Amino acid sequence: MLFNSFEFLIFLPIVFLLYWFVFKGIKVQNIFIVAVSYIFYGWWDCRFLILIFITTLLSYLSGILIEKYRGKARWICGANIAINIGILCYYKYVNFFADNLEALINQFGYQLDWVTLDVILPVGISFYTFQALSYTIDVYRRDIKATSDFIAFTSFISFFPQLVAGPIERSTNLLPQFLKPRRFDYTNAVIGMRQILWGFFKKIIIADNCAQLANSIFDNYQDCNASLLLLGAIFFTFQIYGDFSGYSDIAIGTARLFGVNLMKNFNLPYFSRDIAEFWRRWHISLNKWFIDYVYIPLGGSRGSKAMVIRNILIVFSLSGLWHGANWTFVIWGLYNGVIIALLTLLNLNQKRSAIISEKSFFPPIKEIGQILITFILVVIGWIFFRAEDITQAVDYIARLCDSSIVSVPNFRDLGLGFIKLTYTLFFIVLLQLIDWIQRKQDFGLEISNVKYRPIRWSIYIIFLLIFSIFAGGQEAFIYFQF
């Protein structure tokens, strides 16, 4: 079920009302959460429910066994990790590895005559698998005690707001919330509704409009001059931000309606002053997952510079592969990893993550320059992420280096309407302006400090009017494929 679908607009208020006014008490509410979460997830394909149940059951049992048999905890933890990673790799990467093996064999003059595998990728499998693995590892590390409450644990794995595209929650944060009573908080619910509205603005107005323009340009990039190619890359840059951070806002806001607090997943990434800071602000839950469960176990920042750089490159290679079964994702991960490795090598990785320009409205000229350079590097990286293959990505970037980059974009040749192009650019600027003004708040539409109700309601009405006039086509969320 898509957040931006008519079904969800019917589903959410019904679930909300039943949750608070019919199914009262922690046990009953948890059972209800599991039921509606499985309905939500099974809406795509009910066969996927078998996989999420297997992951849930194995992780639940492994936690109990790890605590009961501490002497064999490493083997139990390792077995659960191997099985879940094995399931993930089969459904996500078997076609990728089969195709690459066939291409490699063909290079030696041999032909493989086999039936091409057609494995369907279950929606959100990377997200709930990583969330389940974090629980097993946390129990093994004694960061959390294994729970015997199977329903609460199932709620933790399958909680529908963040089930298919995160945030990837930690057991130490989310699981305890399903083990204690939850009470309705009107103020928190109102904040949640505002965050949902802000998430829909990012998705429906920013991402979906940018998607139509970016797709047209990338699909016909050989017929575009450099200035239009630059616009295409910028449109995709804001498409993926609006799409993924919009999903996170809707998920976090929806969770608030049910008395559950999810972690912040985006924190003004396009105002970062270097690539390392960008990754502390972009998809925060995944970044922290790889730091805690891969980077630190490898040695982290301890040891020689060579070891640290090795660890960085391993993490970003895996992060790229996590995003999809295509070499473009691996190259994209390595691209970011190499830049961060260089910053580390030159002692320029300054661990920035605080509020940008906290004491003044305008940042210093130096920081403006750093933000612009970082943004350009991010845009180049997104070209690899968006391209169908490496050849297209390299060709696209090469065509950007043409002198026509300072000419007028030939958008009419692709049938791109000037009006749509104009208002999409306007909303991109508006998004960034609101993000900047509200940078000290949790999200752009957090207006609790606006005292007068008529002003708040006027803002809501304006957003609803924008939706009714400028909504793009109904596009699936990009990160569903991961």
Query: Catalytic positions, please?
Result: 323
The helix (H) or strand (E) run that includes residue 324 is: none
DSSP category for residue 273:
S
DSSP category for residue 121:
P
Determine contact, residues 170/271, Cβ cutoff 8 Å: no
Q: Smallest Cα–Cα separation from 155: which of 45, 22, 19?
A: 19
Residue 21: exposure state from Cβ atoms within 10 A (0-12, 13-18, ≥19): exposed
Sign of CA dihedral 184, 246, 359, 286: positive
Look up residue 129 and give its two tokens: 């698998």
- Non-local CB neighbours of 293 within 8 Å, separated by 6+ positions: 133, 134, 137
Using DSSP's 3-state secondary structure scheme, residue 475 falls into coil
Give the separation between CA 465 and CA 467, rounded to whole angstroms.
5
Look up residue 204 and give its two tokens: 């429906």
Determine contact, residues 195/446, Cβ cutoff 8 Å: yes
Give the separation between CA 91 and CA 203, rounded to whole angstroms.
28
| Total residues found in the chain within this entry | 482
Instruction: Mark out the alpha helices in 177-225 (DSSP H runs).
Output: 186-200, 208-219
